[in-house]
Structure 1
Amino acid sequence: MTAQRKFRFGVNMVVPKSRTAWVEKCRRAEELGYDVIGIADHLGVPAPFPAMILAAEATRRVRLNTFVLNTPFYNPTLLARDVATADLFTDGRIELGLGAGYVKAEFEAAGIPFESGGARVDHLERTVTTLRKLFADPEYLPRPVQQPGPPLLVAGWGDRLLSVAAEHADIVALTGAATTAAGTLRVAGPAEMADRVAFARERLGERADEVEFNLLIQWVLPRSEVPALVADFGAVLPAEVDGQPERLPIVLVGSPEEIAERVIDLRETYGFGYFTVLEPSMETFAPAMEILRSLD
């Protein structure tokens, strides 16, 4: 078990279609007490780096991350320039989240080959090593405010990607879902989550106490909404949860007090200290977050 860290909480946002709406969303997230605003990287929504810079202008303290970039879409050297510029223009509030990409249709729409998972992870690792090399160069410009570059989050599930995360990342992020060969996601149960965390910790070795673990929470809801969730997603729930989605680490159910208790349990069981909720759950999770702050 890694050393217990203080909680951090993020909300992963989809950037809306207007500047005003985005500014209001970011200010509301900060007002509610979130530590990090995450910005998704998908086609059909505004690009993450301009959105991060506007979010920084609209807020005072909240950190900003790409949660997570489809790394195969980016040339590593050009990405380094974007990251450094964003860190410079936000006064060092950036966290860089990287993933290997999994939505096959987006690769096809962008005209980028959807290569094997191994090839996509290779590109991610090349990207990380390129960024580290460039940011370590005292002559490199533009110069990121945070040295030696913004904190790096790597999201993964498979052995290879978690091994890369363990070698390079400051934050190891788990989604509670595995990517299939078809470019879709499969929900994982508690036993598989425990296995993945244990694998990452083993690969981290002496770094285990230095690295933060992040969990992406997919649903936060009152008990009254559980039947609807089961009706919509029951067919994809792992057998081990016996039709009870609240047994999944990525689902939080109940009152604010019950949700806070479950988050504490997830920290004690798996070592997660950094939790990210999706935008639709931003308001619902906030009361539990306030309770957790008072206890931490």
Structure 2
Amino acid sequence: MTGDFRFGVNMVVPDSRAAWVGKCRQAEDFGFDVVSAADHLGMAPPFPALVLAGEVTSRVKLNTYVLNTPFYNPVLLARDVTGTDRFTDGRLELGLGAGYVKEEFEAAGLPFPSARERVDHLERTILELKRAYADPEHKPAPARPEGPPLLLGGRGDRILTLAAEHADIIGFTGTAKSPDAGALVPASAEDIGERVEFVRSKLGDREAEFNLLCHFVKITEDRAGALEDLAKLTHGVLSAGQLAEVPTALVGSPAEVAEQLHAHRERFGLTYYTVLEHDMAQFAPVLEALR
């Protein structure tokens, strides 16, 4: 951990073996705590990618961020999860999502279930995984009796309720639906705060780590100018002033971003951030600033 925080990098480019090995080692050398593999068609297959990452690193946790769970049979997935957990000596963190890209289902020749059906399948999968972990006859067994830590990510009431009931780590997307076209756009700080409070109301006495996927990283000495550029890039959905308050946009010098992270921890309880692969190198100085 870097201070009171954890940081992950989500790998999205399906490189050669040598390139994959190199960037996983680089992430560990930079000081990231977690190396993640995304789960989309056209990207690296998550479980083999994480086993390889585990072979060439020594410290980082290894995360699926997040699995397109409706693609998977729960019983077969349990085998892949426990096997990967074993092969990485218990360094696996299992991230699950309900799936949302209709075109990927079509490309795979699969029907696109309704949102309710996708979350139903996610819940069945969680229960099957728990059953497998607890079954002494299940082979391969997970590295720990309770299985790898579970991350559930999403923004809707039902999936966040499921996360509050089962997840060790709750991932917030930091996005909202556009009122015009239904597309995903950056959520305001107030929207993210409402989602966080919703989860807290469901957690009760349980504790969970709060994670956020950071969509926009810009390390620069011109914070004001970069925020204005970002407002234009996102078509004015949020103003530069509003973007200055959202935890999905980490903009400024390394010291300024470190200050933002502390402020977001106080406001939202966020202690675990995931950045995208293309932001890995420029975010590294922030890790130094936090030490």
> Is 1:195 the equivalent of 2:194?
yes
1:97 aligned partner = 95
- 1:47-85 C-alpha deviation (Å, 9 max, x unpaired): 100000000011111110000000000000000000011
| Count of aligned pairs between the two proteins | 284
1:104–1:180: structure 2 CA closer, same or farther, 3 Å change rule? farther
> Is 1:231 the equivalent of 2:232?
yes
Of 275, 283, 291, the match for 2:273: 275
- 1:100-154 C-alpha deviation (Å, 9 max, x unpaired): 1111111111112222211111110110000001111112111111221000000
1:284 aligned partner = 282
2:28 aligned partner = 30
Of 76, 83, 86, the match for 1:85: 83
Contact 2:14 2:42 in 1 (8 A): no
Gaps of 5+ in 2: none
Contact 2:230 2:240 in 1 (8 A): no
- d(CA) in 2 for partners of 1:206, 1:9: 25
SS in 1 for 2:234: helix
1:214 aligned partner = 211
Contact 1:15 1:51 in 2 (8 A): no
The 5 A counterparts of 1:67-146 are 67-146=65-144
After TM superposition, give the deviation of residue 32 of structure 1 in Å.
Answer: 0.3
1:24–1:145: structure 2 CA closer, same or farther, 3 Å change rule? same
- d(CA) in 2 for partners of 1:42, 1:211: 26
- d(CA) in 2 for partners of 1:147, 1:10: 25
1:254 aligned partner = 252
- d(CA) in 2 for partners of 1:101, 1:34: 26
- 1:147-187 C-alpha deviation (Å, 9 max, x unpaired): 21000000011100000000010000001014689984232
After TM superposition, give the deviation of residue 227 of structure 1 in Å.
Answer: 4.0
| TM-score, normalised with respect to structure 2 | 0.93
1:217–1:159: structure 2 CA closer, same or farther, 3 Å change rule? same
SS in 2 for 1:234: coil
Supply the AA of the counterpart residue of 2:232. A
Contact 1:220 1:251 in 2 (8 A): yes
Contact 2:37 2:44 in 1 (8 A): no
After TM superposition, give the deviation of residue 242 of structure 1 in Å.
Answer: 5.7
| TM-score, normalised with respect to structure 1 | 0.91
- d(CA) in 2 for partners of 1:48, 1:110: 17
- Taking every aligned residue pair, what percent have the same amino acid on both sides? 57
The alignment's C-alpha RMSD in Å is 1.8
Gaps of 5+ in 1: none
Supply the AA of the counterpart residue of 1:280. H
SS in 2 for 1:60: coil
- d(CA) in 2 for partners of 1:196, 1:228: 27
Contact 2:228 2:240 in 1 (8 A): no
1:65 aligned partner = 63
Contact 1:104 1:183 in 2 (8 A): no
- 1:204-226 C-alpha deviation (Å, 9 max, x unpaired): 0010xx21110111111023544
> Is 1:177 the equivalent of 2:178?
no
After TM superposition, give the deviation of residue 243 of structure 1 in Å.
Answer: 6.3
